[in-house]
Amino acid sequence: MSMRHTMKARRALTAVAITTGLVLAVAGCGGGDDGKSNSDTTSSPTGQGKADDEKPTERESEAPVEDTVLAEVKGGDDITLTITAAVRDEGGFVTVEGKVRNGSGSRWSAPGWQGSERELAGNSGSMAGSSLVDRTGKKKYLVLRDTDGRCLCTQFSGGFRSGDEKTWYAQFPAPPVGTTKVDFQIAEMPPATIEISDGE
């Protein structure tokens, strides 16, 4: 009888030990997950805080630089012509750049902007009819063109829808080095006085 009691007691102890081991193992695994979760939760906001602190600095450094406006004029049909650069190059020409905006409520195709010269008629809606006027030297500089009459300038393919704004350029023979101020003219737009800068 004592032998049978002893065997029962050993079996009971073994069962208790195994159950306790399993419970501890499960609790240990669960505790590890909780610790990891708590660690992630604790470190995550701090990490986000640092990222948020750095982002404004990055945004400030990446802010786009606004174009310099040398001149801006408005013409009929609420068309705005802006000139942002006029640079004298070593090759003996001046490159003028800017933007045109159609503020009218309808489509606009730059009528008359290609100029009245027969040679430039094939340029359609473009900056071909633009010119630079040196009032001091009393000389007018027409846009440069190739042997086929194509201007060295922007052509506005497809015209402008209402609200459209497009960039443009036009190249001219350079006035004498001493001449820094000229009037830019095109079609019916008012003349825009601009200052020529030297290229690097």
With tokens 């027969």, the residue in question is 118
Q: H helices within the chain, ranges in order?
A: 2-61
Task: Enter the tokens of residue 141.
Answer: 């500089």
- Total residue count of the chain as it appears in this document: 200
- pLDDT given at position 30: 52
Coil, strand, or helix at residue 142?
strand
- pLDDT given at position 123: 83
> Cα Rg for the chain, rounded, in angstroms?
38
Distance separating alpha carbons of residues 167 and 145, to the nearest angstrom:
19
Query: Which residues are bridge partners to 169 per DSSP?
Result: 97
Task: Enter the tokens of residue 186.
Answer: 């095109």
Distance separating alpha carbons of residues 28 and 26, to the nearest angstrom:
5
Q: How confident is the model at residue 2 (pLDDT cuts 50, 70, 90)?
A: very low
Q: Between 165 and 26, name the one with better pLDDT.
A: 165
Q: Where are the domains of the chain?
A: 1-63, 71-198
pTM: 0.66
Residue 168 · residue 82 · CB < 8 Å:
no
Mean pLDDT calculated for residue range 117-143: 90
CATH 2.30.40.10 fits 71-198, yes or no: no
**DSSP per-residue string spanning 141-196:** EEPPB-TTS-BSB-B-TT-B-TT-EEEEEEEEEPPPTT--EEEEE-TTSPPEEEE-
- pLDDT given at position 8: 47
Residue 175 · residue 165 · CB < 8 Å:
no
SS3 content of the chain, % helix, strand, coil (to 5): 35, 30, 35
